[in-house]
Amino acid sequence: MAKIALITGATSGIGEACAHTFAQQGYHLILLARREDRLAKLSHHLADKYAVEIKQVLTDVRDKEKLSAALEVLPAEWKKIDVLVNNAGLSQGLDPIDKGNTDDWDTMIDTNVKGLLYVTKIVSNWMIPNKSGHIVNIGSIAGKEVYPNGNVYCASKHAVDALSKGMRIDLLPHGIKVTEINPGMVETEFSVVRFKGDEERAKKVYENLEPLIADDIADAIWYVVSRPKHVNINDMLIMPTVQATATIIDRK
């Protein structure tokens, strides 16, 4: 059987770009997300275009029981996962700590931190008997710096940073690679989700600058995953050329 990659948050942005890249490289895919129509459309498109097999896992990474049930029903040969891309994540709101919406905080922490942990626990247990595997966690510049009003999103990505280091230590005896990919501004649906559907406000984030695109990150992930067995790239910070830090941006 061809190699297998499980990509969370595959229905949009970076996850969708990764699905294309891995399919193009001949990987069979397990694509996980919540939006059924998008997941089905993408899966059929990739299966037709690249002649690869695809399993759709329609679930929410926050719901550990449903997540576990949805993954455990996969056939045994599909549990021999070579690459896990822990990409599902989001930001909600951009407010000072005293004004933040506590439901938004729950959503970010439950998705970006706890969801990533639930998926990792299941998949790492499948990788361990194979004594190989590669876990790629999507962190952020927000996991390396804190910016005004970024508070809880930044905290969730700092947690991804710490967890990536922790996973690398704990999974070392099992031959499992752990890489953290940390993008700066990538134009995806991220800002539309952060601003809860306010397209105008989202568009302003990328106004008068050239942001990264999702394919730039998929390309970096493919580079990392395609290194020889003895090489692991621990951590990569990828910024648009016009972005020096989270907040210092050369807008024209």
User: Which of the 8 DSSP states describes residue 144?
Assistant: T
Q: Which helix (H) or strand (E) holds 167?
A: helix 151-171
12 touches, from ligand NDP, ligand 8X3, none (C-beta below 5 to 8 Å by class):
ligand NDP
Note whether 136 and 86 are within 8 A (CB): yes
Shortest reach from residue 32's CB to ligand NDP, in Å: 6
**Rounded to whole angstroms, how far apart are CA atoms 115 and 132?**
22
57 sits near ligand 8X3 (criterion: CB under 6 A): no
Which of these, 139, 130, 165, 94, lies nearest to 236 by C-alpha position? 139
Q: In the structure encoding, which two tokens stand for residue 6, read together?
A: 């499980």
34 sits near ligand NDP (criterion: CB under 6 A): yes
15 sits near ligand NDP (criterion: CB under 6 A): yes
Shortest reach from residue 143's CB to ligand NDP, in Å: 8
137 sits near ligand NDP (criterion: CB under 6 A): no
Among 141, 171, 225, 239, binds ligand 8X3 (CB under 6 A): 141
Angle (deg, nearest 10), helices 116-127 and 151-171: 10
Note whether 195 and 141 are within 8 A (CB): no
Q: Is 153 a catalytic residue?
A: yes
246 touches, from ligand NDP, ligand 8X3, none (C-beta below 5 to 8 Å by class):
ligand 8X3
Q: How many CB atoms lie within 10 A of CB 129?
A: 10
Among 5, 7, 12, 202, binds ligand NDP (CB under 6 A): 12
Indicate the length of the chain as a whole number.
252
Among 4, 14, 176, 224, binds ligand NDP (CB under 6 A): 14
Which is closer to ligand NDP, CB of 81 or CB of 159?
Answer: 159
User: Which of the 8 DSSP states describes residue 51?
Assistant: -
Which is closer to ligand NDP, CB of 117 or CB of 128?
Answer: 117
Note whether 129 and 79 are within 8 A (CB): no
Among 21, 56, 92, 188, binds ligand NDP (CB under 6 A): 188
Q: What does the binding site for ligand 8X3 look like in residue numbers (CB under 6 A)?
A: 140-142, 150, 185, 246
Positions marked catalytic: 153
